[in-house]
């Protein structure tokens, strides 16, 4: 069941502790808003004041807010089971006699396939299908066409007088499922990126009658035949013990979802844009794969939008999954380091319409990344051996100096003047404006500087992860959003020169 699609399910709803009290209703899934449950009747027993005859009772928001968060089960007429987790009541209505007419509940988590409480340790694996993930792997399943000889075609490639031109060819495809194309571990989870390509159905009948293989693959449409061939990628996550001989564990859905964050970060860094999840498949202890999780991920997946090859900053051929997970764990291991790291990830490919917000966040990412992720702390030792307090100016210069020379040659900042202007822009945002006459710059100038500061921080992060300088330089030139950030840097360069 795809997260990015709208779904509507009719059935009977009930609470786990009261399975005999079933209420008819409809579950609606909106990928941007989550789920809404509309019940004819309901579960609640709100205390309402005495009503006068003919008076319509209005349930207040305070009364609705007092209803506890619930898990609600749904079962369709066909027997399909759903578990709506962390559901809260948004509204309800009663008639003048106090009889419950309808309720509406909202939730951002729906488990499809069984009745399970969120705290139950039921699941052994979660598999995520993510926009752009295949291009991070790109395992070359579809190979270049090859011209061939075929029975019945006497003059291949030759155009005849009546316009006939037949050119037989073979399209080599490596079909089937490949597990563990790339793998990696953290202290408590194992990650495996898998790929799948279209392949003919194989059975005793297809082996006896080979034409059935093709027939099962074809789509018979009114305009003619279509042979769809697709290649896809997914990433599977399993829990493991931190021992020399890892053992797969059974956990809750929440345990597995929490381990998705490193992959979210990888995708955002590798593409410099949001890459949302189109489907989450959960495997339970009984090895049933036909269970899914509908969850809001912020951005709605767009798996059928076209892909631009320039959108990839790097691939797992440049930085292995194992090394990425290890380096990310190192950069976020210090107390508090996850906060600036998360700000950095969130700003990848994001250009806010709220200038002061973006300015503040860009400098928070830069200062926090240098202080906590790179472990520079509050003090440094100068050339004479004395301990001094870090200031933002010093931190920005050190960040810029961490860039390989090839990348510095692309950015081309006067580092002293850039750091000085950046400090003024940060102070303006942090302190509510400048109190000195003539000391402030325009909002657009401060925004340009903030983009340049974030871009430098992002490039330092890529360098720390081991992305080759050549790949980074290529992205500065060709990636749509990174090249846009470079255009802001051009404005900053002109500002510094003037």
Helix axes 392-401, 443-465, angle to 10 degrees: 50
CA distance 22 to 224: 49
**Residues in CB range of 483: below 8 A, 6 or more apart:** 476, 477
CA distance 370 to 376: 6
Angle at Cα 260 formed by Cα 257 and Cα 264, nearest 5°? 135
Half-sphere exposure of 391 (CA within 13 A, CB side): 10
Each of the 498 residues of the chain gets a pLDDT tens digit; together they read: 999 999 999 999 999 999 999 999 999 999 999 999 999 988 866 545 555 555 545 555 555 666 788 999 999 999 999 999 999 998 888 776 667 788 999 999 999 999 999 999 999 999 999 999 999 998 889 999 999 999 888 888 889 889 999 999 999 999 999 999 999 999 999 999 999 999 999 999 999 998 999 999 999 999 999 999 999 999 999 998 866 655 668 999 999 999 999 999 999 999 999 999 999 999 988 766 679 999 998 889 999 999 999 999 999 999 999 999 999 999 999 999 999 999 999 999 998 888 889 999 999 999 999 999 999 998 888 888 888 899 999 999 999 999 999 999 999 999 999 999 999 999 988 877 765 655 557 899 999 999 999 999 999 999 999 999 999 999 999 999 999 999 999 999 999 988
3-state DSSP percent of the chain in helix, strand and coil, to 5: 35, 25, 40
- Catalogue the E-assigned strands of 48-171: 70-75, 81-94, 100-107, 109-112, 123-130, 146-147, 169-170
- The residues facing 93 across adjacent strands are 102
Residue in the block written with tokens 């050339």:
383
Element of type H or E holding 295: strand 292-295
- The residues facing 224 across adjacent strands are 221
Angle at Cα 87 formed by Cα 81 and Cα 91, nearest 5°? 120
DSSP SS3 for 449: helix
Radius of gyration of the chain (CA): 29
Q: Which of 224, 329, 321, 314 is nearest to 269 (CA)?
A: 314
Q: Which of 347, 327, 332, 313 is nearest to 454 (CA)?
A: 347
Angle at Cα 162 formed by Cα 160 and Cα 165, nearest 5°? 45
CA distance 265 to 461: 12
CA distance 177 to 230: 12
CA distance 61 to 47: 13
Q: Which of 491, 484, 460, 465 is nearest to 365 (CA)?
A: 460
What is the pLDDT, as a whole number, of residue 4? Answer: 96
Neighbour count for residue 316 (Cβ, 10 Å): 21
CA distance 217 to 409: 52
Q: Which of 22, 26, 29, 19 is nearest to 300 (CA)?
A: 29
CA distance 87 to 68: 9
């Amino acid at each position: 069941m795809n997260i990015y699609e709208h779904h509507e399910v009719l059935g009977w709803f009930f609470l786990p502790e009261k399975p005999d009290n079933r209420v008819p209703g409809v579950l609606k899934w909106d990928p941007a808003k989550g789920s809404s449950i509309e019940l004819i009747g309901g579960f609640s027993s709100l205390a309402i004041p005495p009503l006068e005859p003919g008076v319509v009772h209005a349930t207040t928001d305070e009364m609705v807010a007092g209803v506890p968060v619930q898990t609600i089960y749904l079962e369709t007429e066909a027997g399909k089971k759903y578990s709506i987790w962390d559901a809260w009541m948004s509204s309800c209505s009663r008639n003048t006699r106090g009889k419950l007419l309808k309720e509406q509940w909202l939730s951002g988590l729906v488990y499809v396939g069984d009745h399970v409480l969120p705290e139950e340790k039921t699941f052994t694996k979660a598999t995520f299908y993510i926009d752009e993930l295949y291009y991070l792997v790109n395992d070359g399943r579809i190979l270049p066409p090859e011209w061939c000889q075929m029975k019945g075609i006497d003059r291949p490639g030759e155009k005849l007088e009546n316009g006939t031109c037949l050119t037989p060819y073979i399209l080599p495809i490596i079909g089937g499922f490949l597990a563990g194309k790339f793998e990696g571990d953290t202290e408590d989870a194992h990650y495996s990126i898998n790929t799948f390509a279209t392949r003919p159905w194989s059975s005793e009948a297809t082996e006896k009658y080979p034409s059935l293989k093709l027939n099962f693959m074809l789509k018979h449409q009114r305009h003619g035949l279509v042979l769809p061939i697709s290649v896809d990628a997914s990433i599977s996550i399993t829990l493991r013990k931190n021992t020399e001989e890892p053992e797969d564990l059974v956990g809750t859905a929440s345990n597995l979802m929490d381990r998705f964050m490193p992959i979210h970060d990888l995708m955002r860094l590798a593409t410099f844009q949001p890459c949302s999840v189109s489907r989450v498949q959960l495997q339970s202890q009984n090895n049933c794969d036909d269970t899914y999780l509908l969850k809001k991920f912020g951005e709605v997946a767009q798996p059928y939008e076209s892909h631009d090859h320039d959108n990839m900053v790097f691939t797992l051929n440049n930085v292995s999954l194992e090394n990425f997970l290890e380096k990310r764990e190192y950069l976020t291991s210090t107390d508090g380091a996850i906060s600036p790291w998360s700000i950095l990830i969130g700003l990848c490919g994001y250009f806010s319409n709220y200038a002061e917000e973006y300015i503040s966040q860009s400098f928070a990412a830069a200062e926090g990344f240098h202080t906590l992720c790179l472990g520079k702390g509050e003090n440094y030792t100068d050339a004479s051996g004395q301990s001094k307090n870090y200031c933002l100016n010093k931190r920005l210069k050190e960040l810029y100096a961490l860039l390989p020379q090839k990348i510095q040659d692309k950015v081309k900042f006067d580092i002293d003047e850039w750091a000085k202007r950046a400090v003024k822009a940060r102070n303006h945002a942090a302190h509510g404006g400048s109190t000195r006459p003539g000391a402030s710059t325009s909002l657009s100038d401060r925004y340009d500087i903030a983009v340049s500061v974030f871009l430098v921080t992002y490039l330092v992060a890529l360098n720390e992860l081991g992305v080759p300088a050549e790949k980074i330089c290529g992205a500065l030139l060709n990636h749509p959003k990174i090249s846009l950030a470079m255009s802001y840097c051009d404005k900053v360069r002109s500002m510094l020169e003037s």
